[in-house]
Amino acid sequence: MIKLSDKYKEVRKRTEQICAPLQTEDYVVQPIADVSPPKWHLGHTSWFFETFILKPYFMGYQEFDDQYNFVFNSYYETVGTRVIRTDRGNLSRPTVADIYQYREYVDEAMDKFLCGEISDDVKELMILGLNHEEQHQELLYADIKYILGHNPLFPAYSKDYISPKPAEPANTSFIKIEEGIYEIGHRGDGFCFDNELGRHKVYLNAYEISPVLVTNQEYLEFINDGGYQNFRNWHAEGWDWVNKNHVLAPLYWHQINGAWYNYTYNGLQLLNPKDTLTHVSYFEAYAYAAWKSLRLPTEFEWEAAANKFDWGYRWEWTESAYLPYPGFVKAPGAIGEYNGKFMVNQQVLRGASEVTSPGHGRVTYRNFFQTNLQWQFTGIRLAK
């Protein structure tokens, strides 16, 4: 079993490896509120360990800069005031060099701290902190793609990036799942987030679920059939979103001289029809399913069937609102703000994506986003 100190170094190193292809100017851009500048992610993940581990538990620790709590606190009301999320891109200072120095300072202190005896409670906090940084690694990937993908030059993030492909099953017929009572939620001693707890039974009617995700070619058929022009496919709010924002295709798709192109980490390329669809909102996922006279699975249907198909390439929209499981209790203090406060106006996504950190995904993992967001690696699995 890997030592906690080694795991810490591994996770922290991977964050910086994700940023390695960037130029200094790339670190500071914030095109929209949902996308944070890469340098903010680097600072915030260091702030987490400084605030929740070093300051309360490492005797004699001196914080790097007493102004950083205001700059790098994300949404923890318990910890104090903070820079408004939309203003993260306005911070020319601290510089990128300052933030890398901050990371080094925190890492050196953590190295010394992890050499000593650590209580079980602090170990739990440490593991939460590592999983928190892995979440930000995925956000970094998505935010970097948005930043570069909205640069008019469409610069490549890396010419060496290879997008993993799901295995093609021998049989692509819908998988039949029998009606019955199924247990949902995390079990065992391994790590999970608090929103996965409260394992409970649900009754499911018989249903069928696709073993494969929707491809670009399949979604093109929806576009070519006027899918974005037919209100019958859409929720009322989704139809308003389409018209207000003039949405005609998934994020990063561009029609140039009659051909569809797609911005990828390798730059702007002709759309590969065989690739797995990604960067669609819940509104689009629902509309596509309605156009097919099908539907999205609920998160419970997804979890009950997950061992029967290949998953982990796209976060998959479900038909479930993000709500607490039975018996859910928020932890005291700032850690209790981690998930529970967001259980409103969000939709659950299941699975993982091609940029999810290794070992971070679980069948019981409950991701969640607002219904209009496209910038994560989201996809569609159909049910009936």
CA distance 264 to 252: 8
Residues 135, 262, single domain; the answer is: no
Where does 73-116 have alpha helices with state H? 96-113
215 and 273 in contact (C-beta within 8 Å)? yes
pLDDT of 52 reads: 95
Q: Is residue 38 domain-shared with residue 102, that is, in the same domain? A: yes
**Alpha-carbon span 188 to 186, nearest angstrom:** 7
Residue 356, domain CATH: 3.90.1580.10
Mean pLDDT of all residues in the chain?
95
Q: Which of 133, 149, 165 is the last residue of a domain?
A: 149
Question: Dihedral of CA 246/249/250/251: which sign?
Answer: negative
**Percent of the chain residues topping a pLDDT of 90:** 90
Confidence of residue 75 (pLDDT cuts 50, 70, 90): confident
Residues 190 and 309 in one domain: yes
- How would you label 217-228 residue by residue, b for 16+ Cβ within 10 Å and e otherwise? ebbbebbeeebb
d(CA 97, CA 111): 21
Q: Are residues 101 and 210 in the same domain?
A: no
Whether 126 and 208 map to the same domain: the answer is no
On the question of pLDDT at 302 being above 80, the answer is yes
Q: Which residue, among 282, 245, 236, has the nearest Cα to 379 in the 3D structure?
A: 282
- Region of poorest pLDDT, from 50-64, 331-345, 348-362: 331-345
Cα distance between residue 301 and residue 285, in whole Å = 17
Residues 119 and 198 in one domain: no
Confidence of residue 316 (pLDDT cuts 50, 70, 90): very high
- Please check whether residues 107 and 209 belong to one and the same domain: no
At 105-131, the pLDDT tens digits run 999 999 999 999 999 999 999 999 999
Residue partners of 162: CB distance under 8 A and separation at least 6: none
Cα 383 from Cα 305, distance rounded (Å): 11
Distance CA(138)–CA(38), nearest Å, equals 11
Q: Name which residue leads in pLDDT, 340 or 151.
A: 151
Domain boundary among 131, 149, 167: 149
Under DSSP, is residue 129 helix (H, G, I), strand (E, B) or coil?
helix
Residue numbers of the domain that contains 350:
175-379
**163 falls within a domain:** no
Q: Is residue 139 part of a domain?
A: yes
CB neighbour list of residue 34: distance below 8 Å, 6 or more residues apart: 373, 375
Q: Is the pLDDT of residue 167 over 90?
A: no
65-83 mean pLDDT: 87
Question: What pLDDT digit, counting tens, does each position of 246-297 carry?
Answer: 999 999 999 999 999 999 999 999 999 999 999 999 999 999 999 999 999 9
**Distance from C-alpha of 28 to C-alpha of 340, rounded to nearest angstrom:** 30
Angle at 362 between CA 46 and CA 117, to 5 degrees: 45
CA–CA distance, 231 with 211 (Å, rounded to integer):
29
Domains identified in the chain, total number: 2
269 in any annotated domain = yes
Structural domain includes residue 27? yes
Q: Are residues 190 and 227 in the same domain?
A: yes
348-362 confidence digits (pLDDT tens): 999 999 999 999 999
* Single-letter amino acid code for the residue at 122: V
CA-to-CA distance for 87 and 179, rounded, in angstroms?
A: 50
pLDDT band at 212 (very low <50, low <70, confident <90, very high): very high
The answer to whether position 159 is within a domain reads no
Given pLDDT bands bounded at 50, 70 and 90, which one contains residue 319? very high
**In the Cβ-directed half-sphere of 328, how many Cα atoms lie within 13 Å?**
19
pLDDT band at 1 (very low <50, low <70, confident <90, very high): low
121 and 253 both lie in a single domain:
no
Amino acid type, 256: I
pLDDT for 337 equals 64
Do 216 and 145 lie in one domain? The reply is no
Average pLDDT estimate for 35-53: 97
Looking at the fold, whether 113 and 186 belong to one and the same domain comes out as: no
Q: What count of Cα atoms within 13 Å lies in the side-chain half-sphere of residue 46?
A: 26
Domain co-membership, 102 together with 35: yes
Among 173, 175, 169, which residue's Cα sits nearest to residue 209?
175
Domain boundary among 113, 134, 149: 149
Domain-embedded: residue 162: no
Residue 334, pLDDT score: 64
